[in-house]
Amino acid sequence: MLKYIVKRLLLAIVTIWAVATITFFLMNLVPGGPFLSEKAISPQATAALEAKYGLDKPLLQRYMTYMSDALQGDFGDSLKQRGRTVMDIIAMKFPVSARLGGISVLVALIMGIPMGCIAALKRGKFLDSFISVVATCGIAVPSFVVCTLLMYFFGVKLRWFPTVGLTSWKHYIMPVMALSFYPTAYIMRLMRSSMLDVLGQDYMRTAKAKGLSGFVSLFKHALRNAILPVITYVGPMLAYTVTGSFVVEKIFTIPGLGGEFIKAINGRDYTLIMGTTIFLATLIIVMNVLVDIVYKLVDPRIKLK
Amino acid sequence: MKENPLSFQLKLKPEDFLPATKEEKESQVIMRESVSFWKDGVRRLAKNKVAMVSLFIIVLVMIFSFIVPSFYPYSYEEQIKGANNLKPMEYSAEEQAKIDAGEDVFPHILGTDKIGRDYAIRVMMGSRISLLVGLVATCIILVIGSAYGSIAAFFGGWVDLIMMRIVDIIYTIPDILLIVLLSFSLKSPLQQLVEVPGFGWLGVLGENLVSIFVVFALLYWVGMARMVRSQVLMLKESEYVTAARALGVSNGKIIRKHLLTNCIGTLIVTTTLQIPSSIFTESFLSFLGLGVAKPLPSLGSLASDAINGINTNPHLLFIPALLISLIILSFNLLGDGLRDAFDPKLKN
Amino acid sequence: MAEYLVEIKNERLSFFTPAGEVKALNDVSIHLKEGEVLGIVGESGSGKSVTAYSLMGLTAYPGKLIGGTLEFNGHHIEKMSEKEMRAIRGNEISIIFQDPMTSLNPVYTIGNQIEEVILLHTDKNKKQARARARELLELVGINEPDKRLKQYPHELSGGMRQRVMIAIALACEPKLLIADEPTTALDVTIQAQILELMMELKDKLGMAIIMITHDLGVVASMCEKIAVMYAGKIVEYGTTDDIFYRPRHQYTKGLIRSIPRLDTTEHEKLVPIEGTPVDMLNPPAGCPFAPRCEECMKICLSQMPPVTEFEGCHYTQCWLIQKEEYEAEGQKG
């Protein structure tokens, strides 16, 4: 177990390093710089600013400096939002995205798992067909389509929910619906097929032969086995909700980390791009490791190597 | 005892006890006809109504996006004077005058956008781009993924180990993050590349489109590579392959008859299901403004453009949004149908 | 007290598949006294498992009992509700399945899975249930029971798992144990051990056993009575001696010819039964075995033979017997 965690951590560090390196060189390929767009600044002032942030040095040297700073936990100041460190900005924006993402993940699990189970238990009946059709359509609709449709009907036409910002609980409803739409549909499908698979297993017959009621065999014997694929999906789902929020944040004008990232790229805010990328990558990788460990706890057959 | 009670009850005759002929015996055995894997699969696919409807929709969309635009009276970049923001089937004042004068004017079936471009042709071009991205990107993924996966599985040992570690790393990289960054940063190097003689064709496709392909080529092959590797490994070690080898079947025949037949079903299904996911990603990128370059439309960018006019012209948003959902849905359902029909492991 | 512990009369059971009705059981009758061992022999799809499962109310969808009566220990199984059945399953009737590798739930410990059935059917508390589980593991010959209780199924070998399945089945001291090919999935050496264990436990606990198998060797050593099934019918029924020394049905004879023997001096060839079982969706009008029968006659193909009873409980359904009698009558007349 310990050996496994150490191994995973090593792999995680390599991955984060790879992401950071790729990002660093990629963003420097983008023409323009953080200070070019600001017309008011004279060339001398630009040069002075570039010197201040070390942008006048060769690329490789900058890379080395950045990496050694980052290793010590210093991600630098934002180039565009003067006077704020990258860490400040992340600390301010991330909770917004995290809350939205967390609620959406919960909604997806709470909706998806029971619906998938019901569909499997009512196999071939109307309810099953209905849930399957909804789920199949659900995974075919891109998030921006969901967002815009929600916005048009509930925000613009019916005026039930506010369309901008994230200040009251009412503001959360549409973004959460949009963000949890795809994962819910996906989990429903996953849960249905895995439940059907489990229900056909020999140990379910054993449970019945023991004289257990349908309720007990379902909750004790079937659910724990059927939920395994869903746990595996939680990792990618977290990545999806974190990054899927790019679109949602753009449409509903939510001040989150996704929007900040797009803004940083557009403004060539090198340090912020790097900081956000490393932060999100680390987050997703850590989540994936956690999911693996949870998986091991639920399924004793898995040996973490 | 005058009469045999048995023969009385059952009316038995001596000839009943004559041995039955072979033909008579065989007539009793009704064998179900045996069908080949492909025939069986196609037959099952043809029976699957949902999959056939999906296939029909896909073909229809393809006709509209690849064939119809070539003889459509409007072009996707042509701005018609005075025809801004027309509702579907409306005519501009100028066109109305022409019609009054007895001329034929092709109607704007879906209206026009805010700078007077016919929306129907833009939607058709948009779905052409989306389909193109879906198909080409999937081909790239298929080629890279299956080559990488089969090499890893074939060589095994430390080659496999290192290759799969790389896959692991790419797999854990948050994809959208990198896609956004890649499509941003690839734009200008590609623009420069277009200037270089011999690479002019890149310009025809558009830098953004090419950069999307590059992104797919760099990131999305890993899933396919993993799948192909596990398939090849499984087949390599499967007992029927060992059995075939023990019987002296040639390598070529083993690959043709066993490996390919068993692998190709899964490969077809994975590929079909990869198409909608590529289209999905492209539309997402285009929506964020990172997709194809203007004035070339894609369904994602059409939807993105229409968002500001959502109050006045909601149909400009709904049409591309619903169309892209329909395309993805059809591919998904066709993929499901193919899996049911061709994946022998899921048979019955 | 009824004469028999189990009495199945004229059971008819069909599976209603989309392709049509499959008559899995056609007029099956079985009876079994307390402490008796009955073997049901037949090839796959002959209906032997279906018979046993229906006795436990475990008939899988889309199967449906359409006729006959099933009596067990004074209960009328065919009339009982699901809730009443649950009180019997695992308690008065238990079953051991074919594949021990998949019959245990992979995510729970052995202890948990044994205790579950004890807690369900007895008043024992958790601690007592654990003690009983430990006792059961010892009973089925598993060493280090305390350690095993905490282990998961995947940590045990196949033979060990089948012992655990037996422990689960015996937890509530059932009156009837159904063993559905309990040794098919195991190694030959393990097979013998498991069978020996079952006989030992039968003597110790005095339960009746229905042994379902396609292996005649297994029934010969274990069973007092044998039912030979073919295509949803019992084609021959009798004591083990009847079946092995006085087989009357061509299918039984074929089965016996196809077992390897050690006691022959000459190099006898094993004789397999040619052909494949009938398609149960389109059963033939006559005897289902007729198309594969070497002695097949014209009448065999068109009419089902009547039941002929011999001494004791021995009976069969074959036209050849009728032919002999007919000819004997003819000579007399």
Judging contacts by C-beta atoms under 8 Å, the chain B residues touching residue A261 are: 177, 180
Residue B348 banded pLDDT, cuts 50, 70, 90: very low
CA distance C29 to chain A (A): 23
Q: Tell me, what's the pLDDT at C282? A: 75
What are the CA-CA distances from residue A88 to residues A78, A95, A102, A258 (Å)? 9, 12, 21, 15
Residue B345 banded pLDDT, cuts 50, 70, 90: low
Residue B59 · residue C322 · CB < 8 Å: no
Whether residues B329 and A140 touch (CB distance < 8 A) is answered with yes
Whether residues C297 and B26 touch (CB distance < 8 A) is answered with no
Residue among C275, C279, C301 whose CB faces B20 most closely? C301
Does C333 score more than 70 pLDDT?
no
Which CATH superfamily does the domain covering B47-78+117-346 fall into?
MetI-like (1.10.3720.10)
Cis bond upstream, residue B107 (ω within 30): no
Interval C162-184: pLDDT, tens: 999 999 998 998 999 999 988 88
Cα distance between residue B333 and residue B276, in whole Å: 10
SS3 (DSSP) at B205: helix
Whether residues C102 and A211 touch (CB distance < 8 A) is answered with no
Whether residues C95 and A201 touch (CB distance < 8 A) is answered with no
For residues C145-158, average pLDDT: 91
Domain boundaries, chain B: 47-78+117-346
Residue B141 · residue B220 · CB < 8 Å: yes
Residue B241 banded pLDDT, cuts 50, 70, 90: confident
Nearest residue on chain C to B9, judged by CA atoms? C306
Cis bond upstream, residue C291 (ω within 30): no
Q: Is residue A34 part of a domain?
A: no
Interval C291-321: pLDDT, tens: 888 888 888 888 888 888 888 889 898 888 8
Residue A117 · residue A226 · CB < 8 Å: yes
Nearest residue on chain B to A246, judged by CA atoms? B288
What are the CA-CA distances from residue B219 to residues A28, A239, A276 (Å)? 20, 15, 20
CA distance B187 to chain C (A): 51
Interval B79-123: pLDDT, tens: 777 777 777 777 777 777 777 877 777 777 787 777 778 888 888
Q: Is residue A4 part of a domain?
A: no
Rg (CA), chain C: 21
Q: Is residue A18 part of a domain?
A: no
Residue B205 banded pLDDT, cuts 50, 70, 90: low
Q: Is residue A48 part of a domain?
A: no
Neighbours of B237 (CB within 10 A): 9
Nearest residue on chain C to A227, judged by CA atoms? C107
For residues C72-79, average pLDDT: 88
CA torsion, ordered C256, C260, C264, C270, to nearest 10 deg: 80
Residue B251 · residue B174 · CB < 8 Å: no
Q: What is the count of structural domains for chain A?
A: 1
pLDDT winner (highest mean) among B145-159, B260-274, C120-134: C120-134
Domain span holding position A152: 94-274
Q: Is residue A296 part of a domain?
A: no
ipTM: 0.83
Q: Tell me, what's the pLDDT at B2? A: 40
Interval A121-166: pLDDT, tens: 888 788 888 888 888 888 888 878 888 888 888 877 788 877 777 7
Cα distance between residue B130 and residue B276, in whole Å: 10
CATH number at residue A197: 1.10.3720.10
For residues C14-19, average pLDDT: 83
DSSP one-letter string for B41-91: HHHHHHH-HHHHHHHHHHHHHHIIIIIGGGG-SS-TTPPPTT-TTPPTT--
> Would you state the structure tokens that stand for residue C289, as one six-digit string?
């075995």
CB-based contact, C279 to chain B, within 8 Å = yes
SS3 (DSSP) at C259: coil
Cα distance between residue B95 and residue C203, in whole Å: 101
* Least confident window among B13-27, B265-279, C131-145: B13-27
Q: How high does pLDDT run on average in chain B?
A: 77
Between positions 3 and 62 of B, the ones with CB within 8 A of C are: 3-4, 6-7, 10, 12, 14-20, 24-26, 28-32
Residue among C86, C89, C107 whose CB faces A299 most closely? C107
Q: B272: buried, middle or exposed (CB in 10 Å: 19+, 13-18, 0-12)?
A: buried
The greatest distance separating any two alpha carbons of chain C, rounded to the nearest whole angstrom, comes to 77
Q: Which long-range contacts (CB under 8 A, 24 or more apart) does A227-230 make?
A: A227/A113, A227/A191, A227/A194, A227/A298, A228/A194, A228/A295, A228/A298, A228/A299, A229/A190, A229/A191, A229/A194, A230/A109, A230/A112, A230/A113, A230/A187, A230/A190, A230/A191, A230/A194
Cα distance between residue B335 and residue B55, in whole Å: 10
Cα distance between residue B142 and residue B273, in whole Å: 12
Residue listed under structure tokens 């959406």: A104
Cα distance between residue B168 and residue A163, in whole Å: 39
* Least confident window among A4-13, A130-139, A192-201, B323-332: A4-13
CB-based contact, A9 to chain B, within 8 Å = no
> Would you state the structure tokens that stand for residue C126, as one six-digit string?
């958790």
More confident residue, B229 or C278: B229
What sign does the dihedral C16-C11-C180-C308 (CA atoms) show? negative
Cα distance between residue C127 and residue C112, in whole Å: 12
CA distance B184 to chain A (A): 7
CB-based contact, C89 to chain A, within 8 Å = yes
Q: Is residue A71 part of a domain?
A: no
